[in-house]
Structure 1
Amino acid sequence: MGVLEGLHFDNLALRTLPVDTKDGNERRPIPRACYARVKPTSVKNPRLVAASPSALALLDLDMSETDRKEFVEVMSGNMLLPGMDPAAHCYCGHQFGNFAGQLGDGAVIYLGEVINSAGARWEIQLKGAGLTPFSRQADGRKVLRSSIREFLASEALHHLGIATTRAGCITTSDTEVVRDVLYNGNPISERASLVLRIAPTFFRFGSFEIFKKPDTQTGRAGPSYDESRETEKEMLPVMLNHIIKTYFPDIWEDIPVHTDQSVGLRIKAEDRRRNMYLEFYFEVVRRTFQLVAAWQSVGFCHGVLNTDNMSILGLTIDYGPYGFLDRYDPEHVCNHSDDSGMYSYEAQPGRCFWNCEKLAEALAPLLDAGRARAQLDALYAQEYHRTYQRIMRQKLGLLELVDEENDAALVEDLLEVMHKTGADFTNTFRWLAMVELPPTSSHSSGSHPNGEASASPQAEDRASNGTSTSGSGEGAFLERILSSLATPQELAEAAQPRMHPHSLRVLLQFSHNDLLLASMGVTKDMLQQESARLQRSEELKRLDLAAKARADAEAWRGWLRRYRARLQQEVDAGADACRRIATMNGINPRYVLRNWIAQQAIDAAEKGDYNQVHRVLRLLENPYSDDAAVNLDANIGSNGKDVCKREMQYDGPVPQWAKGLCVSCSS
């Protein structure tokens, strides 16, 4: 492993792409450029909060380097290493469906690109490094709580096997910034903090939107737009060629076009280029759909899926108001400013699809937009639906047979039962490994016309009467799931409309007036959704606890009958019980970064105790582990704040949904 001074910088992006002729952090439009050079603003008394060994290893840096004063000075922006060439990236974006014009790195500074000992290229950035030309009305700073959240989330998703940018370390300082945390007019002073971010590149969809003509709705244009489109004609091929050649080498093809070539040869060369650009676009779309399928499978909500937050490499990028599902709710919104639920959990796949459409529009001058759009639906089916269903089959331990239609229905029905009963997303899938395979049947399995095995009559009989001859842990699963479900009051509170019920009733009186609704930023669809939420909330408030318990038990037993029948198919096809459990426990995490876990680490860190950040990081580095020592070392319960009374010395009441979750003693 190397040292800071040994980092080999090769800042290819700044050598290849246009850079603004003016340096400095003065807020301004940046036309005809992808970057603007700007230096980090120093902070007072910087100190290390935490570091990720595996992320720093990408740069060949050993953890012993974090003990050095020079390390902290560099990672806080107070000192530059030889070879660093700090700059901020210019990009635009569609935010909540509307084109916002120039955005750019308002709080992030590119330090350079490191080539490690394996020859891999890693761009490194400091987030929270001070003013840039793109800071607009902000101060270019980040605080400790947001920095810890980004650091932990980046590493959490990485260890879950989901493509993401990485976070090498967090530093904080005595430099103060003012923030209105609760947006209630009572600002407080917080410590300026920084995160070292690492990725092959931070180019995003919005990087290609800098040439956009004035938007018909917002009137905003990209900073590099001109009526002649000459800037776009000159810059866009350079940008695309750099990105494809550097990050998509399997697609790259050097296709020279010379003026002395014949017309026929030039046309053929241009066609080959368009095909290359089209294949690049398809690959970006594939990675994007695979990424959102992975998010859905672990209950991750990004929160701000604007085009400027979509990586061209298919990475999770720009962690803001993200969240992991606790109780399964497809309408869950983790961003409190998302009044319409545009970026809800269930809306994420469709939103990524829309963003891919916007990317095609941005690249239209150089690719066949018609072919690009025509392939979107096919790619969505191939990459999103198939990836999602493949993962969900594995989460259910269905490994031997593929019955796409019936398996998809089984998954959807499970999610519906989880939603109606108030089951925890992560724990439900983890606990399903307790349901053992039924015994091998003596009959010969039937088959579908397509050659796939069908459920046997014996399996259907056992499923219909709810019996199990295997002595499995199904009873234990039911006991655990039924004892952890949300109460009617909890579900009623979660189902409340996002707007005040009185405001909703007033707006419903004007639902026939589209112009009036539009002037208030409301649509009929929003009103219908909010009305449905209000009705569901009121129904749940009237639901008796005992009645809910009976209905919950019936719903879960009904789904388990179908699941057992499907597992019988697996047995008839030669399923191996050990392989099934290993697969399920290797894809259904034991731990995810729940909001309360992150907040617990933040609360301690803001008091100067960074140990909890280290503990949570260790927990997240082993998300599939059932090792009680990992759980207890982190000093947190499995699914609630310190819920284990015996091991955690917790004297408060154990929440209903958290009972039986301690992996050590089940108290």
Structure 2
Amino acid sequence: MNSALSVRASILKKLPKFIASALSSFHSTAMATLESLNFDNLALQRLPIDPVSDNYVRQVNGACFSRVSPTPVKNPKVVAYSSGAMALLDLPDEECRRGDFAKYFSGNVLPPGAESAAHCYCGHQFGYFSGQLGDGAAMYLGEVVNNKGERWELQLKGAGKTPYSRSADGRKVLRSSIREFLCSEVMHNLGVPTTRSGSCVTSDSYVTRDIFYTGNNIQERCTIISRIAPTFIRFGSFEIFKGTDRETGRKGPSNNRPDLLPQLADYVIQTFYPKIWEENSSDLEQMYLAFFREVCLRTARLVAKWQCVGFCHGVLNTDNMSIVGVTIDYGPYGFLDRYDPDFICNSSDDGGRYAYNKQPEICRWNCGKLAEALQPLLPLSKSAPVLKEYDEAFEAEYWGIMRKKFGFLREIPNDRELMDGFLETMYRTGADFTNCFRILSKLQSAADILALLEYLLNQCCSAAQYRKAFSPQMDPTQLQMLLLLQSSNPELLAMLGKKADALQREMEMIQKAEELKGLTPEKKKESDRKLWMEWLGKYADRVGQEDPNGNRVQIMNSTNPRIVLRNFIAQGAIDAAEKGDYSEVRRVLRAFQDPFDESIRYSDFTAFDEAVEGPEANVTNVDDDAKSDNPSCSRPPKKCRIEYDARPPEESIIRVS
């Protein structure tokens, strides 16, 4: 608590009770201004800071943070802000609409009390220890304690170079910033623990980017988002003390400072796990065990929620795993369209390490790496058994949510078999994950089967799309050479960046493609109809065993979202924004305030505008400086419709880096 709050508390004690109560009540609801955010910056008080003040790329020894200032941008302008996220800082809409808001949230001006710094951490990336990483583009501004007593760390991402930027420029561009800004808020509204994003601010400063890695460089606008979370400390934060790795030869920058590990662990436990601190501080080993257990359980429950909404993170390195169990660092993420358990959203993950169906085991693996990092405080003999509890927590959370998605309020034998059968039918028909789950609440009895059948068939992909989904990715000659290298010199294959998993996956694709050669549109439609009819019959029988007077439908519709942030939705907002029109970003943000809402008519774009934007829905917000040459989808509602609850277009190129 800062000194002003301490003085206030002492004054209140001396006042008559009714006056103190009134003043206290006023304070608890009072909102802040950009100049009066209640910063206390506890992390910088409790954790070691780099003594070097110059901002240049280096290995940072003996420190968790390096002080660094944001690099100003030209003419910052607001793309969008999230009222809900800003409210966590006690900032009302009036403050977010101020003319100088963009200056504060671009880093051009620091709010009073802020202390900018970059966090040092390491990470296992794609299974290999990479040594020092750190905040190469993000900057800690401080921690705000709001009027509810909640602590929120505030960051700017894309604010310029830090000692951890390596060869990069510390900047982010409009497209990647919009994706993270929107997804942070969408995930929160889907009920998934996540970091929040308060604002997206672009500028007239530019950086060079090669979008498709083809050598065709373009100039893109520097864009900064604000991120909000209890803390951005992650698994990799504890790996800065790691000794030399036997596989990569790399080591943590503070490997010679084991005395700092308990300092970091104690800070995290006391600040973010206070109950564990209070109950176990007299027995340190028990405290670290309880801490590790809680991190594992939170992580297990988090990834179960990802699986249930069809979310794929894409880069589940240990440096992208939050120590408080929230989703962190939105890069090449994706939501399932066609249900494919092997879905890979990251084009650089050719081996499928971070595929959708691998996420639970990868997060478990990452928990194991955290256990190794904590080994000086907690023997592996004590932490290893906790990983079994991870499995149990995941299963309980996953199947608990799945039962709600299917409307199974009673537990009956063979329920899991029926639920697995639904997933298998979606896979074999190439059906849409989100829409198929959402429609299930419409089935009340066998009389509804035919209506649902027609809808589900419309959610299945075409024969051509299905064949394309399983088409091999490698040139046959290249594949043969790599297979030969795998058998003769696997070490060299690894040095070339190719893994056995990638080759195995390619062989499986070739086999599947061969099986699908004879798949015609007629054969697929016939097969799809048969598969869905068989499953729907079993499901109708099972639904008949539920209480007809229960709240099954309400539970299903509050568990199965109507819309998720599909790539084509995010890309539509990006395309408009790159032409200077930010209204589509704001419209998407507003639409996803309740992704379970049944009332909005997405097929009627004008009605949709009115539903989410209010009476000023058709007023276009255009940045004239962005030289918008073509109309965006958010301008002519009658000619350009974005149906957010529709299946994605067949062809779309998504730029995510």
Specify if TM > 0.5. yes
Kept in 1: contact 2:438–2:562 (CA 8 A): yes
1:87-106 alignment, distance < 5 Å? 87-106=117-136
Distance 1:120 1:519, change over 3 A: closer
Please give the secondary structure, in 1, of the residue aligned with 2:200.
strand
Cα distance in structure 2, aligned partners of 1:225 and 1:594: 42
In the alignment, structure 1 residue 387 sits paired with structure 2 residue 397: yes
Cα distance in structure 2, aligned partners of 1:255 and 1:625: 44
- Amino acid of the structure 2 residue aligned with 1:609: D
Cα distance in structure 2, aligned partners of 1:309 and 1:214: 21
| 1:649 to partner: Cα distance | 3.7
Cα distance in structure 1, aligned partners of 2:163 and 2:637: 52
- Greater Cα offset, 625-634 or 112-121: 625-634
Picking from 627, 630, 644, the partner of 2:599 is 627
| 1:514 to partner: Cα distance | 5.2
Matched residue, 1:547: 523
Cα distance in structure 2, aligned partners of 1:505 and 1:512: 11
- Amino acid of the structure 2 residue aligned with 1:372: S
Matched residue, 1:366: 377
Kept in 1: contact 2:337–2:648 (CA 8 A): no
In the alignment, structure 1 residue 352 sits paired with structure 2 residue 363: yes
| 1:629 to partner: Cα distance | 4.6
- Amino acid of the structure 2 residue aligned with 1:317: I
Cα distance in structure 2, aligned partners of 1:496 and 1:26: 46
Please give the secondary structure, in 1, of the residue aligned with 2:220.
strand
In the alignment, structure 1 residue 323 sits paired with structure 2 residue 353: no
Kept in 1: contact 2:144–2:153 (CA 8 A): yes
Picking from 165, 184, 203, the partner of 2:233 is 203
Matched residue, 1:450: none
| 1:379 to partner: Cα distance | 2.5
Distance 1:398 1:652, change over 3 A: closer
Matched residue, 1:564: 540
Kept in 2: contact 1:36–1:88 (CA 8 A): yes
Cα distance in structure 2, aligned partners of 1:603 and 1:528: 37
Kept in 2: contact 1:434–1:476 (CA 8 A): no
| 1:163 to partner: Cα distance | 0.2
Matched residue, 1:503: 478
Matched residue, 1:576: 549
Picking from 510, 515, 535, the partner of 2:511 is 535
Please give the secondary structure, in 2, of the residue aligned with 1:253.
helix
1:10-60 deviation per Cα after TM superposition (whole angstroms, max 9, x unaligned): 010000000011113211111110000001111111111100010000011
Please give the secondary structure, in 1, of the residue aligned with 2:107.
coil
Please give the secondary structure, in 2, of the residue aligned with 1:162.
coil
Cα distance in structure 1, aligned partners of 2:254 and 2:146: 34
Picking from 192, 197, 201, the partner of 1:171 is 201
1:199-278 alignment, distance < 5 Å? 199-226=229-256, 231-232=257-258, 234-253=259-278, 269=282, 272-278=283-289
| 1:503 to partner: Cα distance | 2.3
Cα distance in structure 2, aligned partners of 1:340 and 1:309: 19
Cα distance in structure 2, aligned partners of 1:498 and 1:164: 33
Matched residue, 1:407: 415
Matched residue, 1:259: none
Distance 1:172 1:647, change over 3 A: closer
Distance 1:413 1:255, change over 3 A: closer
Please give the secondary structure, in 2, of the residue aligned with 1:250.
helix
Kept in 2: contact 1:91–1:208 (CA 8 A): yes
1:39-86 deviation per Cα after TM superposition (whole angstroms, max 9, x unaligned): 111111111110001000001111111222332111010111221111
Please give the secondary structure, in 2, of the residue aligned with 1:169.
strand
Matched residue, 2:424: 416
Distance 1:636 1:336, change over 3 A: farther
Cα distance in structure 2, aligned partners of 1:606 and 1:582: 40
Kept in 2: contact 1:158–1:166 (CA 8 A): yes
Distance 1:27 1:525, change over 3 A: closer
Distance 1:650 1:539, change over 3 A: farther
Picking from 570, 593, 600, the partner of 2:565 is 593
| 1:402 to partner: Cα distance | 5.2
Unaligned ranges ≥5, structure 2: 1-30, 612-631, 650-657
Cα distance in structure 1, aligned partners of 2:473 and 2:364: 25
Kept in 2: contact 1:157–1:163 (CA 8 A): yes
Kept in 2: contact 1:253–1:276 (CA 8 A): no
Distance 1:634 1:43, change over 3 A: farther
Please give the secondary structure, in 2, of the residue aligned with 1:252.
helix
| 1:434 to partner: Cα distance | 1.3
- Amino acid of the structure 1 residue aligned with 2:542: R
Distance 1:602 1:550, change over 3 A: same
Matched residue, 1:23: 53
1:102-181 alignment, distance < 5 Å? 102-181=132-211
- Amino acid of the structure 2 residue aligned with 1:352: C
Return the TM-score normalized by structure 1.
0.85
Matched residue, 2:406: 396
Cα distance in structure 2, aligned partners of 1:340 and 1:170: 33
Please give the secondary structure, in 2, of the residue aligned with 1:197.
strand
| 1:410 to partner: Cα distance | 1.8
Kept in 2: contact 1:107–1:130 (CA 8 A): yes
- Amino acid of the structure 2 residue aligned with 1:301: C
Cα distance in structure 1, aligned partners of 2:356 and 2:587: 28
Cα distance in structure 2, aligned partners of 1:70 and 1:524: 53
Identity %: 51
1:626-645 alignment, distance < 5 Å? 626-629=598-601, 632=605
Kept in 2: contact 1:24–1:39 (CA 8 A): no
Cα distance in structure 2, aligned partners of 1:195 and 1:547: 49
In the alignment, structure 1 residue 305 sits paired with structure 2 residue 305: no
In the alignment, structure 1 residue 432 sits paired with structure 2 residue 440: yes
Matched residue, 2:305: 294
Kept in 2: contact 1:489–1:541 (CA 8 A): no
| 1:123 to partner: Cα distance | 0.4
Matched residue, 2:617: none
Please give the secondary structure, in 2, of the residue aligned with 1:4.
coil
